[in-house]
């Protein structure tokens, strides 16, 4: 059994805790021991049956075998993941047992896969990604590091999602389209052609509503 420390204690972190607990019931492999969070209002609380063990800086003082960064914001999650990876820390994949994942799919460390997710053959999922509840990833799709695919998103075949991008709830990306790095796809949007880096798109079909600076993500 691996003792997993969850970094973060917000709503997403509690979803991650549930995923790990449900998977542990079946596999008895990765067990969450608690959370770390810097919010002073959360200290000494118990959330979803697991204790908050301290602040983020305390992870070196708490016995664990692996970590998972459970922060919804892509940029914050990337920063913490990269810092810890440089220190040689080990990350688990949190995968809900109610998923359909083809056997040849490659998934990077630190990724969270929620209930009802489908990932079809030939797809590659990067590190520190969130594949949220009931999203679908069709064949030969590439999802780069630190991406968040929100609940109910549908990605067609041969899609590419660039690093750090957020694809909002219920959006659809048509086959063979690329969404650039550190962009945002609005909830319910329909992507029918390529989307550039550092833009926000919204609508059916999706249109660029603003550009963002490279440092804004």
Mean pLDDT of 104-121: 98
Q: Enter the pTM of the model.
A: 0.95
Its domain, for residue 60, covers 2-92
Mean pLDDT of 62-85: 96
Q: Is residue 217 part of a domain?
A: no
Mean pLDDT of 38-49: 90
The answer to whether residues 104 and 140 belong to one domain is yes
Q: How confident is the model at residue 48 (pLDDT cuts 50, 70, 90)?
A: confident
The answer to whether residues 147 and 76 belong to one domain is no
What are the CB-based long-range contacts (under 8 Å, 24+) for 22-30?
A: 22/96, 22/97, 22/98, 23/94, 23/95, 23/96, 23/97, 25/97, 26/97, 27/97, 28/1, 29/1, 29/2, 30/1, 30/2, 30/4, 30/66, 30/92, 30/94
Quote the number of domains for the chain: 2
Q: Is residue 63 part of a domain?
A: yes
Instruction: Indicate whether 60 pLDDT > 90.
Output: no
- Name the domain boundary from 62, 92, 122: 92
CATH number for the domain harbouring residue 108: 2.160.10.10
């Amino acid at each position: 059994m691996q003792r997993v420390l969850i970094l973060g204690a917000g709503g997403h972190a509690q979803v991650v805790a549930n995923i790990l607990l449900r998977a542990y019931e079946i596999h008895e492999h990765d067990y969450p021991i608690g959370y770390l969070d810097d919010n002073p209002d959360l200290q000494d609380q118990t959330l979803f049956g697991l204790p908050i063990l301290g602040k983020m800086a305390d992870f070196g003082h708490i016995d664990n075998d692996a970590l998972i960064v459970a922060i919804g914001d892509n940029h914050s999650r990337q920063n913490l993941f990269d810092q810890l990876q440089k220190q040689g820390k080990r990350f688990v994949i949190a995968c809900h047992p109610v998923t359909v994942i083809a056997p040849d799919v490659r998934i990077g460390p630190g990724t969270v896969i929620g209930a009802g997710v489908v990932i079809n053959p030939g797809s590659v999922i990067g590190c520190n990604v969130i594949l949220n509840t009931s999203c679908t990833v069709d064949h030969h799709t590439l999802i780069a590091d630190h991406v968040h695919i929100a609940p109910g998103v549908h990605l067609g075949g041969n899609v590419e999602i660039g690093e750090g991008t957020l694809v909002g709830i219920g959006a659809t990306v048509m086959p063979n389209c690329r969404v650039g790095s550190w962009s945002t796809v609005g909830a319910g949007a329909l992507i029918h052609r390529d989307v550039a880096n550092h833009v926000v798109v919204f609508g059916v079909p999706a249109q660029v509503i603003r550009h963002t600076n490279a440092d804004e993500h």
